[in-house]
Amino acid sequence: MRLDKYLCESSDLTRSLARSALAGGEITVNGEVVKRGTFVVQEGDQVQWDGETLEVIGLRYIMLNKPAGYECSLKNSQHLPVMDLLNVDKRDRLHTVGRLDVDTTGLILITDDGQWTHRIISPRHRCDKVYLATLAEPLPDDAEARFAAGIVLEGEDKATLPAVLERVGTHQARLTIQEGKYHQVKRMFAALGNLVTALHRERIGPVALDEDLQPGESRYLTPVEVSALAQTDEASV
């Protein structure tokens, strides 16, 4: 990696500040002052800025148990962004893998790997998302069949992809979908004349929310989890 890029990736230096630091002799590589931004940093090189060792942060993959009241959007809003729940460096480089509504809780994935994100959210890959919905009214007897056939949402002409509905109680159901339309789960139940009073995402693809994570807590995904999500199949449920 070029030294000027390395400096920006491993510190708070902007491109212009990195150039100034280089020109001022503030940067050393393996103890030697280097002023050329084009210098190529090799694996194992020790880069320092005013005596402080710099290290490029690798790609990050995070699981968060999102509480209600936090927003996945980065736009200014009356709600706090979910990124505020993370105690990590360079949060501005991270993004959520898809979104959850402000009042929806549960599993949200956060990363700085755009290709990995695309693999999960692309409609072609049909990645399962599993939600536990609490409902205002009991479900009709034919709810499972209607969800399996696809639901035509209000304002749309084409039905959703087939979904799997599992009754958990008289007013609770577990729903597995493969899309991410706007307010999709709530709109699917609304099409049946029902209201979702609480919604919690339990799983994305093969990765379930860690039961040890309290609302607002997070942890890094394991390499196995990262790989499993990247290999999401194009023809599951």
Q: Which residues are catalytic?
A: 101
**Cα torsion through 71, 130, 210, 225, rounded to 10:** -100
| Whole-angstrom distance, CA of residue 236 vs CA of residue 58 | 30
Residues 159/179, Cβ–Cβ less than 8 Å: no
CA atoms within 13 A on the CB side of 229: 27
Using left for φ > 0, alpha for ψ between -120 and 50, and beta otherwise, residue 126 falls in left
The alpha carbon dihedral of 24, 29, 34, 39 has a sign of negative
CA atoms within 13 A on the CB side of 166: 8
- Determine the residue type at 201: R
Kindly state the tokens that stand for 198: 């609480």
For 120, counting Cβ atoms within 10 Å of its Cβ (0-12 exposed, 13-18 middle, 19+ buried), the class is buried
